[in-house]
Structure 1
Amino acid sequence: MKALETSMPVWRDLANSIFVSGITTVSVVFFSSMVGYAFAKYQFWGKSFLFFVVLITIMIPIQTTLIPLFIIISKLHWQNSYQALIVPFLVNGFGVFFMRQQMQSFPEQLLEAARIDGSNEFRTFFRIVVPNVLPSLAALGILTFLQQWSNFIWPLVVINDRNRFTMPLMLQQLDQPGNVIHYGPIFAGAAIGLIPLMIVFVCLQRYFISGMYNGSVKG
């Protein structure tokens, strides 16, 4: 462990990954749930076309968007910043599609009852809809956190400042000192990088269990 700390500032890289992945996860869950709810429960002009655009964004691989994204980040002077790591991933098409599919099965009777009682749309969403789809939100949160935590290509493109490195970049740097591969520091860094993932899963697993239990009761 001491060799790893002296060769790489592992705790700073760990904090960077937690910060970037945490903000991205919260943003994706928040915006995807609202947009998915709108697609599932509201009727508006251009709904089908907009949802088709969302599906198209899921099919486009990130490698094809690296150059346009990098040009935008360069024009905004965001290289070597947290904005470059976070802003492009604040919302994604998969999250919108996933939450839309979950929201479609939400009972319309509950929504109508809330509106009859005088509840506005935001209050209905946050007080009635969100508590009933927590297992889905937890699943989306875990998937997003895992995806962002393991993101390597984009940070490699936009980050050159050692103070902004994330865990995947740190592990990649450990393999660079020379011709000899130092497996000890690499394995130690990988083990440390698994700790936040385990914590997130342990904290959210009860929502999965609750969702499975409710599903078995309904069946």
Structure 2
Amino acid sequence: MTGLSVGPFYWLVVTSTQADSDIYAWPPKLLPAGHLIQNLRDLQARIGLLRVLGNSLLLAGLQTVGALVIALLAGYAFAKFRFRGRSLIFALLLSTLVVPDQVTLVPLFQMMMRFHLIDSYASIVLPGLCVPFAIFLMRQALSSLPDELLDAARVDGAGELRVLVSVVVPVMRPVLAALSVFLFLGSWNQFVWPLITLRNPQHYTLPVALATLHGVESNTDYGAIVAGTALSTVPMMILFLVLQRQFIAGLLAGATKG
């Protein structure tokens, strides 16, 4: 099973170091070659690799941080406050989980046009700030947090914001770490919506920029495309390695909550 998981990734890395002629060779070459730097140079010349990589990092980072903050605030409100229509609002929020993303593309595009946000970073970041699954997950995790812990902080004179920052966030750190990985992964891999709303190549994200390299078969630089694809996995791997312990703790915490 390990071989089945590692095999495709190993083939991706090996292919990213090869020229087009080596990729089509038979029998296939199973060892890395020395063409990686040239493939990356070709990407830089054709799509501005550093620029589109920076665009992806910026947009994914903003979306992840913004979605985490909104999910934490909304989850805290749904879990710890009693207000009229709470159950109905939460049910409506959950109902959006069954709506395919493709259904919302046209009305979302019209909304972005009305606000004159087409071909801007805001058109990518703003629709990704409210993630119903993230709010649901935070609400479920916060529901298990004892009210006595929060009341003790309030008795000591802490306001709601102080309670949230000093009590809730430290306790929920494993859940926030796990959720940040999922949110960053989803934002980093976005393709259809950025392809629709971004028109200036200077604003392209890495997946959209790589898609522009596909042409007729004789003009497609597969070595550069594979090198860019391999490079796109690096930020996700770094994020997972940095948050690995808390990510696993968050998953285990979610699995043991009744």
Verify same fold: TM over 0.5. yes
Q: Which residue of 1 aligns with 2:89?
A: 50
Letter of the 2:190 partner, please give it.
N
Number of residue-to-residue matches in the alignment:
217
Q: Which residue of 1 aligns with 2:11?
A: none
- Note if contact 2:112-2:123 (Cα within 8 Å) is conserved in structure 1: yes
Letter of the 2:178 partner, please give it.
A
Q: CA deviation at 1:214?
A: 7.8
Deviations 1:115-172 (A, max 9, x none): 2212111111110011001011011111011001111110111111100100110121
Q: Does 1:41 align with 2:64?
A: no
Change (3 A) 1:212 1:7: closer
Question: Which of 165, 169, 174 pairs up with 2:208?
Answer: 169
Change (3 A) 1:15 1:123: same
Q: C-alpha distance in 1, partners of 2:108/2:247?
A: 35
Q: Does 1:121 align with 2:124?
A: no
Letter of the 1:39 partner, please give it.
F
Q: Which residue of 2 aligns with 1:81?
A: 120
Q: CA deviation at 1:108?
A: 1.5
Task: Give the alignment's TM-score, normalised by structure 1.
Answer: 0.93
Residue pairs, 1:1-219, within 5 angstroms: 1-176=40-215, 178-211=217-250
Q: C-alpha distance in 1, partners of 2:252/2:97?
A: 31
Q: CA deviation at 1:206?
A: 2.5
Letter of the 2:138 partner, please give it.
M
Runs of 4+ in 1 over 6 A off after TM superposition: 212-215
Percent identity, please.
39
Deviations 1:175-204 (A, max 9, x none): 126544322001110111111111111121
SS for the counterpart of 1:128 is helix
Change (3 A) 1:213 1:24: closer
The structure whose Rg is larger is: 2
- Note if contact 2:177-2:247 (Cα within 8 Å) is conserved in structure 1: yes
Change (3 A) 1:213 1:175: closer
Q: C-alpha distance in 2, partners of 1:125/1:41?
A: 11
- Which moved further from structure 2: 192-201 or 129-138? 192-201
SS for the counterpart of 2:144 is coil
Q: C-alpha distance in 2, partners of 1:111/1:76?
A: 40
Task: Structure 1: give runs of 5+ residues left out of the alignment.
Answer: none
SS for the counterpart of 2:212 is helix
Change (3 A) 1:204 1:166: same
Letter of the 1:198 partner, please give it.
M
Q: C-alpha distance in 2, partners of 1:213/1:145?
A: 20
Q: C-alpha distance in 2, partners of 1:212/1:9?
A: 37
Task: Give the alignment's TM-score, normalised by structure 2.
Answer: 0.79
Q: C-alpha distance in 1, partners of 2:172/2:141?
A: 8
